Amino acid sequence: MIRSVPAFIEGYGPVEPFAGAFARLGPATRRSVTRHPVRPGQGKLLPSIRAAIEACGLKDGATVSFHHHLRNGDDVLRAVMAEIAAMGFRDITVAATSLFPVHAPLADHIRNGVVSGISATYIRGPVADAIAAGALPTPAVLLTHGGRARAVEAGDIRIDVAFVAAPTADPYGNINGVQGKSACGTLGYPMVDARCADRVVAITDHLVPYPACPIDISQEDVDFVVPVDSIGDPQRIVSGITRVTTKPEGKAIAAMAAAVIDASGLLKDGFSFQMGAGGVSLAVADTLKTIMSERGIVGSFAAGGITGTLVEMLEAGLFRTLFDVQCFDLKAVDSYRRNPAHQSMSASQYGNPHACGAVVNQLDAMMLGAAEVDLDFNVNVTLGNNGVILGGSGGHSDTAAGAKLALVTTALATNTHPKIVERVSFVTTPGETIDAVVTEAGIAVNPLREDLRERLRDAGLPVVSIEELQHKASCCDGVTPPPPVNPAEGRILAVGQYRDGTVIDVIRANPG
Amino acid sequence: MIRSVPAFIEGYGPVEPFAGAFARLGPATRRSVTRHPVRPGQGKLLPSIRAAIEACGLKDGATVSFHHHLRNGDDVLRAVMAEIAAMGFRDITVAATSLFPVHAPLADHIRNGVVSGISATYIRGPVADAIAAGALPTPAVLLTHGGRARAVEAGDIRIDVAFVAAPTADPYGNINGVQGKSACGTLGYPMVDARCADRVVAITDHLVPYPACPIDISQEDVDFVVPVDSIGDPQRIVSGITRVTTKPEGKAIAAMAAAVIDASGLLKDGFSFQMGAGGVSLAVADTLKTIMSERGIVGSFAAGGITGTLVEMLEAGLFRTLFDVQCFDLKAVDSYRRNPAHQSMSASQYGNPHACGAVVNQLDAMMLGAAEVDLDFNVNVTLGNNGVILGGSGGHSDTAAGAKLALVTTALATNTHPKIVERVSFVTTPGETIDAVVTEAGIAVNPLREDLRERLRDAGLPVVSIEELQHKASCCDGVTPPPPVNPAEGRILAVGQYRDGTVIDVIRANPG
């Protein structure tokens, strides 16, 4: 069951309520964009971020965008917002792809009125805390990767200026992410912003002679280029290595998830797969790797944020292609740099529900995480049981909607709280798009997937009901039901927007 | 002097007259586009061209588009138009990128009323003859490569259905041009149509499993995929080899043109260059190759339709990059397939004057051909002195406008007619964008480029006036002034649209 949401939310506007994962897929409009032509002989290089802000004609109330490919190493959002604040602008909306702890200074800009609006697909750290504390005068808007691309293309989010952190750029605005000290790999997220923003500024710490080949974002969309000393901390831009889980419980869950994929009938030539960078997902990938090698299965593609594990599978011939919206580690960056079978994809190509068919639609199996799952298979990856904003959908809802087999892997409980609950405190991803939940205590299959349940039973896998899992979760040693968070009444702090632009849930302030 | 054009042209509409090469470069609008979302599980594969036409909801009066990467080997335009005719549609506008002799059947569709409008950047052969004979009820619209991209993006040309000949496609609409028996290399022209058309149909003779990596045109823009036996004749799709001129006169002109480039001061590290596939251009490239090798000059890029000669220069380290809108020969196709420094570019990236800076704006030297040049340096590559439509601008006007040094190379006269004339019969490219004309009898420098004239004189090159060249041309043995073509009055058969969308000239029916 999805909660009802108000018809109008102050500071957000009229609400179209979520009505089903595929209820709103009529002809969709890509908005008209105004370009500022550049004549022969006219340059784009500017000496400072301030000069670029001035050249873009930024105004109070404007929307500026940023991407998160530099992850917790990004210094561009800080630098730009510091300049915007120093120039005295007010009432700015920050349309970020994701916000990390490194973006802490943004919390101050919220508190002092420079920033009055935030949207992102994932928010964690001090900015999330500021939002949860009610510091933002308007509700934060939590999107999905594909939904943000849709919103930017449709003009629901109108970006006045996109500031693109550019690991490499030339003086005429061609950008790539594979060269320079801040190399981060593909640039799937800002590709969309660069196409749709009114003005686009590349900020780079590696200015190279024209042209910055290979080109990920083209000069035809970039207005200005600003060289700076550093766009971030390379140590934090990509993690060096990702690790398979070593916990016995995690290993058991991973083994069961791999068995579910095997039993689903999807694991054959042409198989496609996506996972996160978590330890359980990596363990699943390891098992699939063994099965695919043994049986000589060649998959079509692996997608998503790409890890070294998937690169190894590509190089071993287990997949023909990688679709990469974002490199998760250095091995992925290196692979994208040199292997033509490792392709970039924009956030729109990845998950936009209003595109003429996104990559997620071609996914066979998707591995998903969860903070909570409820009896309707709804998943929460947004709100913690202590009221903390944990992150958000990212591509969670997009891949769940697209994949033939959307598998949630989770332990029954944390040390203190159940993870399978009667009702999630916030619906990130609707249960109708989740096919099964894999726990150490068995696999619950969504009643919508009777076919899958049969297959798993035939394979001798421990299929149980979601109710049974919920009951077991509540009985784990030391586990107590969490205190209520996200009440039915109260000020709305954040609006959860489903990928189609409807409102699927809200986060409200707790009383007192 | 540019001729005045009417304020309104029947069958074309209101006219904005050409007012200077850079007079119309205000903020430009990329039009809103409607997408038809595809849900998970929904396919795109259709059994026939007819099924695709039906699925697109084609109507009488619609505009359909085609690209010319298969050149004189293309069979897709014929096949689609035959089906459209057989289905009884009328009043169709064909928005082609270029039309070749192979497209002869289109002339019949014009005569029988299936087709009532044509636009293209280059038209040669029976379709050109049908237009010149007055068979089309509305004026044909002659565009430039960049101008067509601008018009399609702006919505001046609204494409209802883009039919994309696809050397390789997968069932979900990803397309590339580097695999399959009909491989043609880059797909720079249909990239624009695929982004902007209401519906996009891929027609392929090489259907591969998903995904068709490397992807040149993405699934997110393609509605339907139709497999067919053949999209064309591989023998005619790309020429096997291009040849340097062997005529003494051609060699003399080429040597002089190379000397002009050398004397211009542009031939140093970072040098950028574009040329056609003609014998004189190739001879110029050969000379530049020698000079660059000897002096250790490393150019930034060569652009355009790419030939094997430019590939050799890339591989010899004389250029860092190739920007390729279209491969001219097999060597170029092969290079694009395997060399990441050989990049594709869309027609918009190539020459769109309203893009935020096209590649032509970064060109140092451009080699241009001419059917006629006049005393104002205006160039005609569109209309023959017998009234035949010879082709059209292609990228002629775009590169002339963008390049620092736009050089026309031409003999003074053909066997029978002068090529340097008082006034061209049709202005394809305005003289203000031409820097010099190189002939076997000397070099005429545009008076706007006094600096260049000085440099050439200092280098001891034979600088003469354009009037002197015109006089000499008219005195060549056996040469007589051509009979008048393109009178000042009479029915307008074709409208020449400059890259910015203004009308620069018209072709009128000759009386009698």
Do B207 and B263 belong together in one domain?
no
The reply to whether A217 falls in a domain is yes
A196: closest chain B residue by CA: B30
Q: What is the mean pLDDT of residues A195-219?
A: 97
pLDDT tens sequence across A454-487 = 999 999 999 999 999 999 999 888 888 878 889 9
Is A200 near chain B, with CB under 8 Å? yes
The reply to whether B227 falls in a domain is yes
Contact A40 B360 (CB under 8 A): yes
Q: What is the mean pLDDT of residues B60-76?
A: 97
Interface of A with B in 119-138 (CB under 8 A): none
Q: How far apart are the first and last CA of chain B?
A: 28
Interface of B with A in 407-466 (CB under 8 A): none
Separation in Å, CA of B358 to nearest CA in chain A: 6
Domain stops at, among B187, B211, B237: B237
Contact A270 B31 (CB under 8 A): no
The reply to whether A491 falls in a domain is no
The yes-or-no verdict on residue B97 having pLDDT over 90 is yes
Contacts of B35 in chain A (CB under 8 A): 27-30, 354-356
Contact A356 B36 (CB under 8 A): yes
Is B154 near chain A, with CB under 8 Å? no
pLDDT tens sequence across B291-339 = 999 999 999 999 999 999 999 999 999 999 999 999 999 999 999 999 9
Count of all residues that appear for chain A in the document: 512
**pLDDT band at A206; cut points 50, 70, 90:** very high
Give the per-residue pLDDT at A39: 93
Is B22 near chain A, with CB under 8 Å? yes
CATH number of the domain encompassing residue B379: 3.40.1080.10
Give the per-residue pLDDT at B1: 62
Domain that holds residue B409: 248-485
3-class SS of residue B8: strand
- Residue B255, C-beta contacts closer than 8 angstroms, at least 6 positions apart: B283, B287
Contacts of A26 in chain B (CB under 8 A): 37
Do B365 and B429 belong together in one domain?
yes
The reply to whether B311 falls in a domain is yes
The yes-or-no verdict on residue B26 having pLDDT over 90 is no
Nearest one of B144, B183, B230, B176 to B327, comparing CA atoms: B183
Is B348 near chain A, with CB under 8 Å? yes
> What whole-number distance in Å separates Cα of residue A423 and Cα of residue A497?
19
Q: What is the mean pLDDT of residues A400-407?
A: 98
Q: What is the mean pLDDT of residues A91-117?
A: 98
Nearest one of B327, B310, B75 to B188, comparing CA atoms: B327
The yes-or-no verdict on residue A199 having pLDDT over 80 is yes
Separation in Å, CA of B35 to nearest CA in chain A: 5
> What whole-number distance in Å separates Cα of residue A10 and Cα of residue A391?
23
Cβ-contact B165, B203 below 8 angstroms = yes
- Residue B379, C-beta contacts closer than 8 angstroms, at least 6 positions apart: B368, B370, B372, B373, B396, B400, B408, B424, B427, B428, B429, B431, B434
The yes-or-no verdict on residue B421 having pLDDT over 70 is yes
**pLDDT band at A277; cut points 50, 70, 90:** confident
> What whole-number distance in Å separates Cα of residue A389 and Cα of residue A120?
12
Do B215 and B270 belong together in one domain?
no
The yes-or-no verdict on residue B249 having pLDDT over 70 is yes
**pLDDT band at A450; cut points 50, 70, 90:** very high
Do A185 and A257 belong together in one domain?
no
Q: What is the mean pLDDT of residues B356-382?
A: 97
The reply to whether A117 falls in a domain is yes
Which own/partner contact pairs does B332-336 have at CB distance under 8 Å and 24+ positions apart?
B332/B185, B332/B238, B332/B306, B332/B307, B332/B308, B333/B177, B333/B178, B333/B183, B333/B184, B333/B185, B333/B238, B335/B306, B335/B311, B336/B178, B336/B185, B336/B186, B336/B306
Residue B323, strand partner residues: B303, B343
| Two tokens, residue B351 | 């020459």
Do A170 and A285 belong together in one domain?
no
Give the per-residue pLDDT at A484: 82
Contact A37 B44 (CB under 8 A): no
Domain stops at, among A172, A201, A236: A236
Q: What is the mean pLDDT of residues A56-78?
A: 97
> What whole-number distance in Å separates Cα of residue A505 and Cα of residue A507?
7
The reply to whether A5 falls in a domain is no
CA distances from B431 to A488, B350, B360, B370 (A): 72, 21, 17, 12
User: Which of A26, A29, A210 is nearest residue B32 as measured by Cβ atoms?
Assistant: A29
Q: Tell me what ipTM this predicted complex has.
A: 0.95
Do A274 and A158 belong together in one domain?
no
* The 3-state secondary structure of B488-505, one letter per residue: CCCCEEEEEECCCCCEEE
Contacts of B358 in chain A (CB under 8 A): 219-220
Is A214 near chain B, with CB under 8 Å? yes
**Dihedrals φ, ψ of B444, to 5°?**
-100, 125
Share of chain A above pLDDT 70, in %: 99
Is A208 near chain B, with CB under 8 Å? no
The yes-or-no verdict on residue A177 having pLDDT over 70 is yes
pLDDT tens sequence across A21-44 = 999 988 888 899 998 999 999 999
Give the per-residue pLDDT at A477: 80
Give the per-residue pLDDT at B4: 86
| Residue A386, burial from CB neighbour count under 10 angstroms (0-12, 13-18, 19+) | exposed
Contact A29 B33 (CB under 8 A): yes
Count of all residues that appear for chain B in the document: 512
Give the per-residue pLDDT at B243: 76
Sign of the four-CA dihedral A348, A353, A358, A362? positive
Do A109 and A206 belong together in one domain?
yes
Please report the beta strands in A48-122, taking only residues with DSSP state E, as ranges in sequence order.
63-66, 92-96, 115-120
Contact B220 A356 (CB under 8 A): yes
Helices (H) and strands (E) in chain A, counts: 15, 27
Do A333 and A367 belong together in one domain?
yes
Domain stops at, among A236, A270, A303: A236
Determine which of B222, B266, B356 to mutate to test the interface with A (most A C-beta atoms within 10 Å). B356
The yes-or-no verdict on residue A46 having pLDDT over 90 is yes
**pLDDT band at A240; cut points 50, 70, 90:** low
Give the per-residue pLDDT at B495: 98
> What whole-number distance in Å separates Cα of residue B119 and Cα of residue B106?
13
Do A159 and A218 belong together in one domain?
yes
The yes-or-no verdict on residue B241 having pLDDT over 70 is no
Bridging pattern class, strands A436-439 and A442-445: antiparallel
The yes-or-no verdict on residue A223 having pLDDT over 90 is yes
Peptide bond into A418 cis (omega under 30): no
The yes-or-no verdict on residue B285 having pLDDT over 90 is yes
Separation in Å, CA of B268 to nearest CA in chain A: 14
B172: closest chain A residue by CA: A357
The yes-or-no verdict on residue A238 having pLDDT over 80 is no
User: Which of A36, A341, A358 is nearest residue B220 as measured by Cβ atoms?
Assistant: A358
The reply to whether A510 falls in a domain is no
Is B87 near chain A, with CB under 8 Å? no
**pLDDT band at A92; cut points 50, 70, 90:** very high
Interface of B with A in 242-301 (CB under 8 A): 270, 300-301
The yes-or-no verdict on residue A279 having pLDDT over 60 is yes
pLDDT tens sequence across B422-473 = 999 999 999 999 999 999 999 999 999 999 999 999 999 999 999 999 999 9
pLDDT tens sequence across A107-116 = 999 999 999 9
Q: What is the mean pLDDT of residues A188-200?
A: 97
- Residue A357, C-beta contacts closer than 8 angstroms, at least 6 positions apart: B37, B38, B42, B44, B172, B173, B219, B220, B222
Separation in Å, CA of B368 to nearest CA in chain A: 18
Give the per-residue pLDDT at B457: 98
Do B183 and B327 belong together in one domain?
no
Residue A342, strand partner residues: A322
User: Which of B172, B219, B356 is nearest residue A37 as measured by Cβ atoms?
Assistant: B356
Contacts of B33 in chain A (CB under 8 A): 29-30
Do B199 and B299 belong together in one domain?
no
Is B35 near chain A, with CB under 8 Å? yes
Quote the mean pLDDT of chain B.
95
Q: How many folded domains does chain A comprise?
A: 2
- Residue A119, C-beta contacts closer than 8 angstroms, at least 6 positions apart: A93, A94, A95, A96, A140, A141, A142, A143, A148, A157
Do A193 and A122 belong together in one domain?
yes
A208: closest chain B residue by CA: B300
Q: What is the mean pLDDT of residues A48-58?
A: 98
Phi-psi region of B113 (alpha: psi -120 to 50; beta: other; left: phi over 0): left
Sign of the four-CA dihedral A103, A104, A107, A113? negative
The yes-or-no verdict on residue A392 having pLDDT over 60 is yes
Q: Residue type at B113?
A: G
The reply to whether B232 falls in a domain is yes
pLDDT tens sequence across B137-157 = 999 999 999 999 999 999 999
| Two tokens, residue A214 | 């290979």
> What whole-number distance in Å separates Cα of residue B41 and Cα of residue B39?
6
Q: What is the mean pLDDT of residues A210-229?
A: 97
Quote the mean pLDDT of chain A.
95
Q: What is the mean pLDDT of residues A253-280?
A: 95
User: Which of A213, A323, A356 is nearest residue B341 as measured by Cβ atoms?
Assistant: A213
**pLDDT band at B3; cut points 50, 70, 90:** confident
